[in-house]
């Protein structure tokens, strides 16, 4: 008798810290800060790298801060993901680690591959909480970390750590 094959289920989460923002606008609320020119350049470089190595995510979720929306829309355009399908989640802006972990655990299980755009220090802390094999002191702006989870549903991210399959920072691509 042959061995019975089991249906292996995997979830993949790509965490992206928003690209570098522009601090040169006095009086602008934090949530309204735009990307700097370096931020735009980094977002295009990082999304081009991602497109070359990975499939288009099934779902893209972002904070409602302008710098996050801009970063996620650049990734969406570069990846050929319909920008109107990018899901802004107000609770991601200025949230604590537990809130972001709960948002991840609450993702619709129909999605196997999700890209999430968020802020520091929360995104660094959550990345470290979810990764079984790497620890990051501080994810730089526009850092991309891709984690694979051997789980059937997103709720299991509360108790199961993922394996880092890729991580890249903009400095890996800059000519300066």
Q: What is the pLDDT of residue 8?
A: 61
Each residue's pLDDT, cut to its tens digit, for the chain (176 residues) gives 444 444 567 999 999 999 999 988 888 999 999 999 999 999 999 999 999 999 999 999 999 999 999 999 999 999 999 999 999 999 999 999 999 999 999 999 999 999 999 999 999 999 999 999 999 999 999 999 999 999 999 999 999 999 999 999 999 877 65
pTM: 0.93
Q: What does CATH list as the number for 11-20+32-172?
A: 3.40.50.1240
**Nearest one of 37, 57, 61 to 47, comparing CA atoms:** 57
Q: Are 42 and 19 in contact (CB under 8 A)?
A: yes
Q: What is the pLDDT of residue 21?
A: 96
Q: Are 79 and 57 in contact (CB under 8 A)?
A: yes
Calpha distance 63→15 (Å, rounded): 12
In 10 A of CB 47, how many CB atoms? 23
Calpha distance 69→154 (Å, rounded): 23
């Amino acid at each position: 008798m042959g061995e019975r094959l089991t249906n292996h289920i995997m979830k993949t989460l790509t965490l992206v810290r928003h690209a570098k923002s522009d601090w040169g606008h006095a009086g602008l609320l934090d949530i309204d800060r735009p990307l700097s020119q370096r931020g735009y350049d980094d977002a295009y470089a990082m999304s081009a790298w991602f497109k070359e190595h990975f499939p288009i995510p099934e779902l893209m979720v972002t904070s409602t801060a302008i710098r996050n929306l801009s970063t996620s829309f650049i990734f969406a355009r570069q990846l050929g993901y319909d920008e109107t399908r990018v899901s802004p989640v107000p609770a991601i802006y200025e949230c604590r680690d537990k809130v972001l972990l709960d948002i991840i655990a609450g993702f619709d299980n129909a999605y196997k591959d999700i890209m999430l755009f968020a802020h520091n220090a929360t995104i660094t802390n959550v990345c470290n909480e979810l990764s079984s094999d790497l620890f990051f002191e501080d994810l730089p702006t526009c850092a991309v970390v891709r984690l694979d989870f051997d789980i059937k549903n997103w709720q299991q991210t509360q108790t199961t750590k993922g394996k880092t399959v890729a991580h890249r920072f903009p400095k890996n691509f800059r000519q300066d």
